Amino acid sequence: MSEPYDRWHKSRPATGEKNCTAHKKVPSSNHGQGKRWLARWRDYEGKQLSESFDKYEDAKKHLAKVETGVAEGTYIAKDKGETLIKSLAEQWLTDLVFRNPRTEPQYISRVRRYIIEPLGHIKIKDLLPSRIVSWIKSMLLTIGETYAGLIFSHFNSIITMALDDGLILKNPCAARSVQRVKPRRQRKASKELPVDWEDSEGIKQNLPDRYKATVDCGRALGMRQGEIFGFSPDDVNWLQKDKAVHIRRQIAHDRGVMVFAPPKGGNDDDPKDRMVPISDEVAFILAEHMRQFPPVEITLPWIEKNGPPVTVKIVFTSREHRPINKNYFNWLWKAALEEIGLIQALNDKPVGRGRLWESCRDKMMHSLRHLFATEALNEGVDIYTLADLLGHEDPAFTLRRYVHRVARSFDKAREAIGRRYRLVA
């Protein structure tokens, strides 16, 4: 084991040099200046590093700890721990590869606002679990748990990168205190539908006539809101016996600009499009809607704000024959929820002019997809087919999301198998 170096005294004094009165050794040019004992060692790459101590015993202990860490592969250089969270986060963003160009500005915005702004000034060596817990709790005061869970997943990836690069010995995000308050990425599946069929009918009746059929697209075809807004009559094979809707487009937003894009998670190489069967009854409703409100050709950029222009004939448009503004539509939706008693208003201001409602995220238009899935399961559609109809890549996700609905089918399955055995007996 290496020995600490005495900075205050010469290790090889010349003949005739006098000792100091305090230590009885020949003083060096550093005598009495700074800390006396210098611990010197070499890291994995052979680079010599050092740190000074007042006492010989402290320097000796430090050397023993460092040399053991180097031998066991657990040593972290002090200068590496000085790296700021901001630098790590910016590096993590730089290294990401985005298949969808709209995704990059969203990541940058989230990381800079919710990670770099509150934590960027902290050195990685000073990032304690208690600091992360405080950050999570503060974040949950301003944003929902699902969004906070997404941001935490980004942060955890950044700290994992620091761990892989040898800047820290362990990930503080994995500490039990952090795991206890870690926000969930996905909300627990509701045991009951927030919007049932009767509710959806009430919502439909309280929407303006030009938007009523959007409810049928959600509850009968499982479309997301953006897919409904981007729905074209050309997406339906109207004349075939086995009618189906080709869901291949949505209206999305890129940095505040409306764009046409593939369905959620899709890109030009893998568009994530899907086919959904449509009954004659729903086809008639849509045909009647288009008779009353003829489709309009709309031109928007493709995927990103500077993308090539694409022209599509759209089923649902505003009174001005423009793409539907989702904020305006959501006001109408909440007003319809209020009319049927599912939510209450918090003030008396007009709709679209400052009227506020109680929290109702689970009752917004996306709830129609859950209604569609529940009706399909109740009618015996298997989980793999349902995953395809919803556009879920992993049927296991669909199963987890609707496990409470699938569980209701267990009694039917148990009884069906039981009947088979009773027939044999």
DSSP helix/strand/coil, 210: helix
In tens, the pLDDT along 354-368 reads 999 999 989 999 999
User: Is pLDDT above 80 for 33?
Assistant: yes
pTM of the model: 0.73
244 and 317 share one domain: yes
Last residue of a domain, one of 126, 152, 181: 181
Please check whether residue 213 lies inside any domain of the structure.
yes
Specify whether 145 is located in the same domain as 266: no
Which of 2-16, 325-339, 405-419 is the most confident on average? Answer: 325-339
Residue 310 lies in a domain: yes
Whose tokens are 């148990």? That residue is 414
Q: Provide the terminal-to-terminal Cα distance of the chain, rounded to the nearest Å.
A: 81
Instruction: Decide if 247 is inside a domain.
Output: yes
Structural domain includes residue 63: yes
Show Cβ contacts of residue 298 under 8 Å, excluding neighbours closer than 6 positions: 311, 312, 313, 314, 317, 322, 323
Check whether 76 has a pLDDT greater than 70: no
Does the pLDDT at position 3 exceed 60?
yes
What pLDDT is recorded for position 164?
86
The model's confidence at residue 187, banded by pLDDT at 50, 70 and 90, is: low
Regarding whether 154 and 171 lie in a shared domain, the answer is: yes
Domain end point (choices 53, 75, 97):
75
pLDDT of residue 410: 57
pLDDT, one tens digit per residue, over 77-132 is: 666 788 899 999 999 999 898 888 888 999 999 999 999 999 999 999 999 999 99
Q: What percent of the chain has pLDDT over 70?
A: 90
The reply to whether 232 and 338 lie within a common domain is: yes
Q: Check which CATH number belongs to the domain holding 162 and give it.
A: 1.10.150.130
Provide CB contacts within 8 A for 245, sequence distance 6+: 221, 231, 235, 236, 275, 276, 277, 278
| Whether residue 108 is found in the same domain as residue 135 | yes
- Please provide the average confidence, as pLDDT, over all residues in the chain: 89
Enclosing domain of residue 162 = 82-181
Q: Tell me whether residue 23 is in a domain.
A: yes
- pLDDT reported for residue 202: 97
Residues 210, 158: Cα–Cα separation, whole Å: 47
Q: Which of 78-87, 125-134, 252-261, 402-411 has the lowest mean pLDDT?
A: 402-411
Read off the pLDDT of residues 130-182 as tens digits, 9 standing for 90 and up.
999 999 999 999 998 989 999 999 999 999 999 888 788 889 999 999 999 99
CA distances from 147 to 150, 182, 200, 250 (A): 5, 12, 27, 22
- 316 has a pLDDT exceeding 70: yes
Asked if residue 166 and residue 52 are part of one domain, the reply reads: no
Whether 18 is in a domain gets the answer yes
- What is d(CA 390, CA 407) in angstroms, rounded to the nearest whole number? 19
Among 77-81, 302-306, 315-319, 321-325, whose mean pLDDT is lowest? 77-81
Pick 173 or 70 by higher pLDDT. 173
Q: What is the pLDDT of residues 207-248, one digit of tens each?
A: 999 999 999 999 999 999 999 999 999 999 999 889 999 999
Predicted pLDDT at 380 = 83
**Tokens at 77, concatenated:** 């250089």
Question: Would you state the pLDDT for residue 421?
Answer: 65
H or E, element range at 330? helix 326-339
For residues 180-187, average pLDDT: 83
CB distance 39 to 51 below 8 Å? yes
97 and 137 inside one domain: yes
pLDDT at 190 over 60: no
Residue 299 has pLDDT above 60, yes or no: yes
Same domain, 262 and 374: yes
- Residue 61 falls within a domain, yes or no? yes
CA 9 to chain centre: 59
Helix (H) or strand (E) holding 419: helix 410-424
The answer to the question of residue 390 being in a domain is no
Residues 209 and 348 in one domain: yes
Are residues 342 and 372 both part of a single domain?
Answer: yes
Largest Cα span, the chain: 113
Judge if 167 and 222 occupy the same domain: no
Q: Select from 127, 147, 181 the last residue of a domain.
A: 181
- On whether the CB atoms of residues 249 and 230 are closer than 8 A, the answer is yes
Distance CA 344, CA 335 (A): 9
Residues in the chain: 425
- Asked if residue 63 and residue 89 are part of one domain, the reply reads no
Quote the number of domains for the chain.
Answer: 3
At residue 205 the predicted structure's pLDDT band, cuts being 50, 70 and 90, is: very high
